[in-house]
Amino acid sequence: MRRYSSGKSPNLTWQMEANLGQNFEDFVAKIIMAQLRQLHPQVQVFQTRRVADGGKDVIVSTKINTVNILGQSFTSFNGKGIQICFECKSTDNSILRYDKISSSSSRMQFQDTEKYDYYVLVTNSEILPQTYWYLTKSLERSNISFRLIDGYLLGTYLLSLEDPKLQHALNNPYSLSDHTDFYYEYQVDTVVSQLTNRYDLYMLFRNYSNNEKHCVLQLRTDVDWNTSEDNISFVIAPSGAAVKKVTVEQKHFDGIPELLFHIQINGTESVVMINGINGTQIFEPPFFGESRIRIVNDLEERLKSTMPPSIVCFWGDAGIGKTRLVQELFSRLQGTLFDLYECKLQQGHTPQKEIERFLLNHGYIQEGQYVDFVSMIENCRTPFGNQAVIFLDDFHNADDSFLCEIQRLKSNLSSITLLISGRTDFTIGNINYLSFVQWADENLPESCFNVEPLTDDEAKNLIRVLIDGIPPYALDRLFNLSAKNPLFIVQYVEYLLDCSLVKIQNRNTVGIIDINKFHVKRFMPTQIADIYYQRLSHLQKEKDGETCLNLLYKIALCNGKMNLALFNMFFEDSSDQLNELMRRRLLKYEENETIAFVHESLFLYVSEQLKGKKAIRTFLAKEIVSMPNIDHVLGMFQTGRLYLYSKDYKKAREYLHTIETWLIAVDNISNVNVNLNYYKYLDDMFELLRHARKNLPLAKKALLMRVYITLHHFAPIKAVDECDIVLKKLKQYKMVDDRPFCLSIMELKAHALMNAGLYPDGEILLKEIQADWLCNKEILSDETLFDLYDRLAAVYRAFNLIDLSKTYNTLSITLADKLDDNRLRALAYRTKFKITLYPNMDLSSESLRKSIEATALMPSKRIETDNSLDVCALEILSNSTVHQDKLILKLNSMLQDIEANNLHRAQIHCFFLLAICNLLKGEEKATLLAKEYVDRAINLSTSYGIVGYLWRLYNLQAIIGIRMGFDSQHIYKIFFTVFDILKKQGLLYIGNRDACEGNILALSNIGYYLQERKFESQFYQTMSLVTFAGQEYSAYPNQNLSDNPVNTFLVQQYAKARKREILFAQNTPPNLLWDTQTRYLLIL
């Protein structure tokens, strides 16, 4: 076990050399004898002979009831004198190990004939808290009190002697300037297993002063943690010590996750964070659904009645909650007069032997007295009034003989109940199993339960319970994918955990930390895909199954939906197959008699499967497009896609001609009039055009257009994925020789990475492009080179490297002027506005003015809107206490135009500024409006996958929460959401600490909060993860602070937090926006 301490240990290293061992023992004996000589004959002192461990003890026997030896006061327990054993142990190690002491302490307890009152360990070193605790407790059993004179106490005692030779004997490392008043350290030991989240803390407190210390130890984080003993009060004598063993267990994960103790010493308070805790957070979804709760309540009551049911059956789809329902029932019966057994059936395996062993072990049957399984069950006898409940899970795997045996059982078994759970969704099971299900439903109607999907409200509430603070967009997304199936919901949450999209907050709840992965082109959790695979495989094996599956594929190719009347027109011979797909709950009827997939996740699965079945897709597409007037149903573009799948490229080009004409007309991608109806077919255009060499430029343009539209109209992380797909296609079709085109895609990918908040990844890609350009100055187009400069300027601004950022910005402005391109000029001056916003507001304002002027000459709705919002931001920064109402009116007016033009990033920015304006008004109603705007902005950030504002929004949300008096632990979680996002975006790197980006301000706010709450250890632990250029130390999570040179630097930052100075910054920026009520920084 590692030890942790409150600071630097006062015990120094003694250079003992030849004084180790017997010389040390003799020296200590000599000191004690000299001190007590004047008390002879009332006090007797002698050394024992050397024993097995090679050491000699010093024994003090006195009839005096109080005596002071080596700075320690000893008092008689019975008024009849004192017997003291001094064990002298020297070492050249920093710690005296337990095995070096245990034999002598045990010998004294069990072998020595003398009865001792005190056992005193004298050492030039120190011992660990756990060692101190074990010695104390073992000696207490023999009514012996343990004392420790460690290296510090011994050294400082020698300095108090008059003889200079004795003062510096044994190379005493201490001087009169060495002084420590109080010191504590602790060790952490995991109890039983790490999965229990239970720990033993051994806490050793050392009082090195000449005064008593009155101490109180109290658990501070009692929301998540339980302790074996709380509010522990104790007194430590001068030059004394106390050890406490406290068992703690993390029961929940709702509050502050760290284990914090409140320590009060003579009225002075401090908070210590316990290191060495590595609890495993187990995600256990809660039991949910009113109908399910009713079933469990009913069964619990019936099982506890005088006539419990013999057989109970649960039927339903895979993952619908059958097993979870029985587990909930078992949890209620646990510890009562029920013996519970769960058996999961597997194909080719019968459970009779396991059930027999269970019944035998619990006394329900006698060994070897039954002819078969049925007679064994029917002759069970209840031992001690107990009832056996056996759960046969996955009963669809039961073989025919076992099915027959269960059917033969009597309906009034006296001492046993069988719970049976099986699927009825056509994923598995033969005709005999389905016959058994029918038999059970007919013969056991009161004991058969069809477990239905959750209701809409239940499904949404379950998602809300599972994902703390889930924005509406993410809620709707998961709801649509879940099919209201609890397993699907839980699997998606587990999937998000695996993708690090969410993190566990407590045993039943996770919280969102990375919205990017909501927008990455991922498929679905493996377990859900496996269920769909089983269902379709089972369908395929049935009579006419292949035809049914092909019909399912056809509907997928027709966009997943079709009106029934049109279906009958085009697929009139497929009504039987349609009915079978409906019966198997693969398709359903929606409003207006529309045929659709039963839920979106199945449509996604089938569509994904078709991508790998090109021969089937071609065959079915040919069949669909051969139907008369099918284009009137599917539309021109989808029909063109199916002709492409059919390899009729001429027809495909005819139907996709409108998109091709639009592509040809585009001369400046940056100013293109985007039609999102064309977007989804741009991949098809590439596949259509790539076959002819003369069409290759247009084919590449289709790819470039798709990337550009994705970047500016969808989640940035989707654009990253799109760039990877394009680069893969270029390699697949051997187009990588066009290096300039590849680099333009890579530059857009870098742009997308930065918009997704992945700055380090974006910087690496930009450097790769720059290296290519340095080797060949002709390889980049002027626009790609400009983007390279502009993006690098943005990266280095984010990293607080202002000089580097300014250099690249100057290069971009120079290039824009050389090209006389007002659009590029507008972008470059916008970047300069951002770089100089905090360090030089006048220059920032001038840069924004130039960007607005350039935009007027080359209109761009997006840039014009961004500039208008930044004008509002400048007004807020320069006049933070006035004109708020005018600004709110102006922003609300802009919002209508922004929403009409689908400018998603600007919409988030506008809500953000509205929140700040309302907060600065200082009125209660305005603060509530500020919260509403922030929540809407966070939801939109999740919906659009735009993460750039996210940590600023959560920073603002925390400040609003403080204003509104939210629970401190809730505020803590919000601030650490900010920290998690900064960490994910690589913004814990703060470069030269130039404070030209708001991440330094956000870190300052986190530091202010930790300092306010007196979480000093947590402050050091958190801020140690911040890195910067020229850093001479490394981060030190889980290390002893006192041993790391970072401690001094971070102590300085803690002092700055107390004075509300900007942490880490080389210089405080002159233009900051403070919330005067809370004294926290608002970040624009």
Q: Which two tokens stand for residue 853?
A: 């002027």
CA dihedral of 696, 702, 704, 709, whole degrees rounded to 10: 180
The verdict on pTM exceeding 0.85 is no
pLDDT confidence tier of residue 514, bands split at 50, 70 and 90: low
Three-state secondary structure call for residue 119: strand
Q: Are 782 and 742 contacting, i.e. CB atoms less than 8 angstroms apart?
A: no
HEC string for 1022-1052: HHCCCECCCCCCCCCCCCCHHHCCHHHHHHH
Contacts of 208 (CB under 8 A, 6+ apart): 10, 152, 153, 156, 180, 181, 182, 183, 239
Looking up tokens 């098809």 gives 684
Residue 995 has pLDDT above 70, yes or no: yes
pLDDT at 109: 62
* Per-residue buried b or exposed e for 407-430, using 16+ beta carbons within 10 Å of the residue's own CB: eebeeebebbbbbbbbbbbbbbbe
Laid out side by side, the sheet with 594-597 consists of 561-563, 594-597, 587-590
Strands 338-344 and 467-468, by their bridges, are unpaired
pLDDT at 494: 53
CATH topology of domain 290-450: Rossmann fold (3.40.50)
CA 133, 138, 142 angle in degrees (round to 5)?
140
The model's pLDDT over 922-961, given as tens digits with 9 standing for 90+, comes to: 899 999 999 999 988 988 887 677 888 889 999 999 999 9
CB-CB neighbours of 354 under 10 Å: 13
pLDDT at 872: 92
CA distance 913 to 904: 14
pLDDT at 967: 83
CA 848, 838, 758 angle in degrees (round to 5)?
85
pLDDT at 503: 53
CA distance 255 to 489: 24
Single-letter residue type at 822: N
Q: Which is more confidently placed, 588 or 486?
A: 588
Residue 1035 has pLDDT above 50, yes or no: no
Q: Which of 324, 337, 328 is nearest to 298 (CA)?
A: 328
Q: Which of 528, 526, 518, 537 is nearest to 488 (CA)?
A: 528
* Rg, C-alpha atoms of the chain: 38
Q: Which of 224, 268, 280, 215 is nearest to 242 (CA)?
A: 215
Residue 348 has pLDDT above 80, yes or no: no
Three-state secondary structure call for residue 767: helix
Single-letter residue type at 900: A
pLDDT at 508: 46
Q: Which of 769, 814, 818 is nearest to 791 (CA)?
A: 769
Q: Where are the alpha helices (DSSP H) in 82-218?
A: 102-110, 129-140, 151-159, 164-167
CA 31, 33, 35 angle in degrees (round to 5)?
70
Q: Are 248 and 225 contacting, i.e. CB atoms less than 8 angstroms apart?
A: yes
CA distance 999 to 367: 72
Residue 154 has pLDDT above 70, yes or no: yes
**Could you tell me which CATH class the domain 3-171 is placed in?**
alpha beta
Q: 281 — alpha (psi -120 to 50), left (phi > 0) or beta?
A: beta
Looking up tokens 């619908």 gives 320
Q: Which of 768, 758, 716 is nearest to 941 (CA)?
A: 716
Q: Which of 289, 350, 354 is nearest to 324 (CA)?
A: 289
Q: Are 142 and 109 contacting, i.e. CB atoms less than 8 angstroms apart?
A: yes
Check whether the bond before 41 is cis (ω within 30° of 0): yes
Q: Which of 59-73, 567-581, 692-706 is least confident?
A: 567-581
Neighbouring C-alpha atoms within 13 Å toward the C-beta of 57: 24
DSSP state of 591: G
pLDDT at 158: 94
The model's pLDDT over 1053-1075, given as tens digits with 9 standing for 90+, comes to: 989 999 999 999 988 888 899 99
Residue 509 has pLDDT above 50, yes or no: no
The model's pLDDT over 382-434, given as tens digits with 9 standing for 90+, comes to: 766 788 899 998 888 888 888 888 888 877 777 888 999 988 876 565 677 88
Q: Which two tokens stand for residue 167?
A: 């003062």
Q: Are 468 and 970 contacting, i.e. CB atoms less than 8 angstroms apart?
A: no
CA 510, 515, 517 angle in degrees (round to 5)?
95
Mean pLDDT for 472-481 is: 73
The chain-wide mean pLDDT, for the chain, equals 83
CATH of domain 877-1082: 1.25.40
CA distance 548 to 536: 10
On the question of a common fold for 290-450 and 877-1082, the answer reads no
For residue 293, give Cα distances in angstroms to 313, 419, 451, 482, 506. Answer: 16, 17, 11, 20, 22
CA distance 518 to 514: 8
CATH 2.60.40.10 fits 182-273, yes or no: yes
The model's pLDDT over 233-244, given as tens digits with 9 standing for 90+, comes to: 999 999 999 999
Q: Which helix (H) or strand (E) holds 75?
A: strand 72-75
The model's pLDDT over 176-196, given as tens digits with 9 standing for 90+, comes to: 887 888 888 888 876 644 445
Mean pLDDT for 889-902 is: 89
Single-letter residue type at 341: Y
Residue 121 has pLDDT above 60, yes or no: yes
Strands 416-423 and 502-506, by their bridges, are unpaired
Neighbouring C-alpha atoms within 13 Å toward the C-beta of 351: 23
CA distance 234 to 623: 87
Burial class (CB in 10 A: 0-12, 13-18, 19+), 446: exposed
CA distance 584 to 579: 9
Q: Are 1009 and 265 contacting, i.e. CB atoms less than 8 angstroms apart?
A: no
Domain ranges within the chain, ordered by starting residue: 3-171, 182-273, 290-450, 456-522, 877-1082
pLDDT confidence tier of residue 526, bands split at 50, 70 and 90: low
Q: Which two tokens stand for residue 523?
A: 């498929």
Single-letter residue type at 172: N
The model's pLDDT over 688-734, given as tens digits with 9 standing for 90+, comes to: 998 888 999 999 999 999 998 888 777 788 888 889 999 999 888 88
pLDDT confidence tier of residue 491, bands split at 50, 70 and 90: low
Three-state secondary structure call for residue 697: helix
Contacts of 874 (CB under 8 A, 6+ apart): 841, 844, 845, 848
pLDDT at 1036: 40
CA distance 910 to 866: 9
CA dihedral sign of residues 26, 28, 32, 34? positive
Q: Which of 235, 288, 243, 54 is nearest to 130 (CA)?
A: 243
pLDDT at 155: 94
